[in-house]
Amino acid sequence: MFANSEILANKVILQEINDTNKNEYELSFKLDKVALIKSESFDDEPKIILKIESVKEFKQIAQNQSKLIKSFSSSVEDDGISIIIELDQFVKWTKPAQEKMTDHVKMSMNLIPDKKLDKNIRDIVIVIDAGHGGKDPGAVGKNILEKDITLMIAKELARTLQNTEGFSPKLIRSKDEFIELDERYMRARRMGADIFVSIHADGFTLSRVKGASVYIWSKTSSSMTADNLSDQKLLNVKNTNFDKLDFNEDLNRPYFLEEYDLTNKKSLLLADKILEELKRDPYTYIHKPNVEFANFRVLKLIDVPSVLVESGFISNPDDAKRLSGKPGRRMIARGIFKGILNYLKQENPKNTIMQDKPKSLTYIIQKGDLLSEIAIRFGVTVDELISQNKINPKRIYPGQKIKINI
Ligand SMILES: [Zn+2]
């Protein structure tokens, strides 16, 4: 089925089973290239399956001396290999992450056994891309740079997700550094993203143009603004240095057309949900009432729903003012967060906290948190938080878990 073995991974080797600390195991595999990996577990038996597309060969070098893992086995199908990990009990597991080494790719995942679990569960991985950075400031406004705004929104979103049980946010960049566009989505693949969100706040030649918009990928743009943004800002990149270990989304797409079609539908749903939430925010003016389509190269992932959020135009004085302040940025982060939740409520991804359509989520209070702030970030009222959790607002403490209706 895969004609071109040059561009796809061929083998996987189980190299190590590490007892990282008393109750956590790390499995390390060696791949010849970054691969498209699907992973799932079952609710009724402690078993995890890793499906590695295109790979035909599995070898186990690691000695299995752990009590937790009963066995590894594999089965080869037309389109790849399935590695079946049989466990002794239910675990919290992480999606396999891939790391490029000098001549191979290290794929690793963690297993954390927990007697209290009645099924296998994993976190939902949300990869957040703060647009631009380092030598690339993005749009330049009066006393305001796009690269700084995007990073602050990204961190605000990550902060909410980080402390909400069942979610694992990962930042493409967490400081002011330059990262190539291709490296951004490739990094998201290696991180095992369930969802990819790229955050921008661009400028336009006309200063009256303002407001937020949400984009998904398309070969043809849906408007002039989209054309302008995608062609000039995001598409026109000279460096496309793929090395032999990379998974090239463009070259691989023809082999995964069905998958890509499904991903596009999911991206549209995700974008719709985020836009819906941004529209609810009284502070955020909306630039385009519908989800926009643009050829943004950062949205290329074949199997990961991906959206690009333009939080406003910093070339517009109103938007610049809104995004310069914490409340304005927080509303963008909240819109994205709630949009993601609403998307997940509809998708109910298996093996995750959202599988059983929960009515509430658990948030772990952090040092410096205020109930009023938490309420804003989740779009609930302080009174709701107090009555639902029967807490004294003056006596909240770090590490305290509270339920928040969603
Ligand atoms: Zn931008």
Residue pLDDT, tens place only, 286-297: 998 899 999 888
Q: Which domain holds residue 388?
A: 360-405
Contacts of residue 275, defined as CB under 8 A and 6 or more positions apart, other chains included, come to 213, 214, 286, 290, 291, 339
Domain boundary among the residues 51, 86, 118 is at: 118
Does residue 343 form part of some domain?
yes
135, part of any domain = yes
Distance, in Å, from the CA atom of 13 to the CA atom of 58, rounded to the nearest integer, reads: 6
Is the pLDDT at 65 greater than 50? The verdict is yes
List of residues 6+ apart from 183 with CB closer than 8 A: none
Q: What are phi and psi of 79, to 5 degrees?
A: -105, 5
Count the residues in the chain: 406
Task: Dump pLDDT digits (tens) for 144-159.
Answer: 999 999 999 999 999 9
Neighbours of 85 (CB within 10 A): 23
What is the 139 CA–ligand 1 centroid distance (Å)? Answer: 6
Share of the chain above pLDDT 70, in %: 93
Ligand 1 centroid–CA 101 distance in Å is 30
Residue 238 has pLDDT above 60, yes or no: no
- Mean pLDDT in the chain? 91
Q: How many domains does the chain have?
A: 3
Can you say how many angstroms the Cα of residue 153 is from the centroid of all Cα atoms in its chain?
A: 15
- Domain identity same for 257 and 365: no
pTM: 0.94
Q: Please indicate, yes or no, if residue 224 is contained in any of the structural domains.
A: yes
- The DSSP letter of residue 235 is I
Q: How far is the CA of 375 from the centre of ligand 1 (A)?
A: 29
pLDDT at 204: 87
Residues 111 and 143 occupy one common structural domain? no
Say how many CA atoms lie within 13 Å of 358 toward its Cβ.
17
Asked if residues 298 and 129 have their Cβ atoms less than 8 Å apart, the reply is yes
326 with 367, same domain: the answer is no
**299 CA to centre of ligand 1 in angstroms:** 13
Do 133 and 102 fall into the same domain?
no
276 and 180 co-located in one domain: yes
Q: Average pLDDT, stretch 115-143? A: 95
Q: How far, in Å, CA of 268 to CA of 291, rounded?
A: 7
In this structure, the answer to whether residues 174 and 110 fall within a common structural domain is no
Rg (CA), the chain: 22
- CA 183 to ligand 1 center in whole angstroms: 16
> Token digits for 67?
């009590």
Distance 313 CA to ligand 1 centre (A): 9
Residues 331 and 234 in one domain: yes
Whether 73 has a pLDDT exceeding 80, the answer reads yes
pLDDT digits (tens, 9 = 90+) for 14-51: 999 998 777 899 999 999 999 999 999 988 899 999 99
Tell whether the model's pLDDT for residue 64 goes beyond 90: no
Model confidence at 236, pLDDT cuts 50, 70, 90, reads: very low
> Region 274-280: what's the mean pLDDT?
95
Buried b (16+ CB within 10 A) or exposed e, 356-369: eebeebebebeeeb
Provide the 10 A C-beta neighbour count for residue 248. 16
Summarize pLDDT for 203-226 with one digit per residue, the tens. Answer: 888 889 999 999 999 876 666 666
Note the pLDDT of residue 240.
54
Alpha helix ranges (H) inside 229-302: 249-252, 257-280
Q: Do the Cβ atoms of 28 and 106 come closer than 8 Å? A: yes
Answer yes or no: is 111 within a domain: yes
Nearest by Cα to 171 from 194, 187, 148, 147: 187
CA of 132 to the centre of ligand 1 (A): 6
Distance 360 CA to ligand 1 centre (A): 34
DSSP 118-173: SS-EE-EEEEEEE--BTTB--SEETTEEHHHHHHHHHHHHHHHHHTBTTEEEEES-
Could you tell me if 140 and 242 lie in one domain?
Answer: yes
* pLDDT over 60 (residue 406): yes
**Which CATH number characterizes residue 364's domain?**
3.10.350.10
183, part of any domain: yes
Same domain, 398 and 378: yes
Distance CA(48)–CA(351), nearest Å, equals: 10
Phi-psi region of 379 (alpha: psi -120 to 50; beta: other; left: phi over 0): left
pLDDT above 60 for 131: yes
Q: How far is the CA of 163 from the centre of ligand 1 (A)?
A: 28
Q: What is the CATH number of the domain that holds 28?
A: 2.60.40.3500
| Residue 242 CA, ligand 1 centroid: distance in Å | 23
Q: How confident is the model over 304-320, as pLDDT tens digits? A: 999 999 999 999 999 99
- Span from the CA of 178 to the centroid of ligand 1 (angstroms): 13
Contact at 8 Å (CB) between 86 and 113?
Answer: no
Q: Is residue 6 assigned to a domain?
A: no
pLDDT of residue 147: 97
Which of 57-66, 90-99, 102-111, 131-140 is predicted least confidently? 57-66
**Domain edge (last residue) among 118, 140, 162:** 118
Q: Each residue of 321-360: pLDDT tens digit?
A: 999 999 999 999 999 999 999 999 999 999 999 999 999 9
What's the CATH number where 160 sits?
3.40.630.40
Instruction: Kindly tell me if the per-residue pLDDT of 2 is higher than 60.
Output: no
pLDDT higher than threshold 60 for residue 231: no
Which of 118, 137, 168 is the endpoint of a domain?
Answer: 118
The amino acid sitting at 303 is D
Tell how far the Cα of 302 is from the centroid of ligand 1, in angstroms.
22
Q: How far does residue 201's CA lie from ligand 1's centre (Å)?
A: 6
Q: Residue 295: its pLDDT value, please?
A: 87
Q: Which helix (H) or strand (E) holds 319?
A: helix 317-324
Residue 404 alpha carbon to ligand 1 centre in Å = 33
pLDDT of residue 241: 61
Q: Are residues 209 and 285 in the same domain?
A: yes
Is residue 7 predicted with pLDDT exceeding 60? yes
Q: Does residue 354 form part of some domain?
A: no
Q: Could you tell me what percentage of the chain is helix, strand and coil, using 3-state DSSP and rounding each to the nearest 5?
A: 30, 30, 40
pLDDT value for 284: 86
In degrees and rounded to multiples of 5, residue 157 shows phi and psi of: -65, -45
In a domain, 217, yes or no: yes
In terms of domains, do 257 and 343 share one? yes
Other CB atoms closer than 10 Å to residue 42's CB: what's the count? Answer: 14
Gap from CA of 198 to ligand 1 centroid (Å): 9
> Among all chains, which residue has been given the structure tokens 């706040």?
201
Same structural domain, 295 and 225: yes
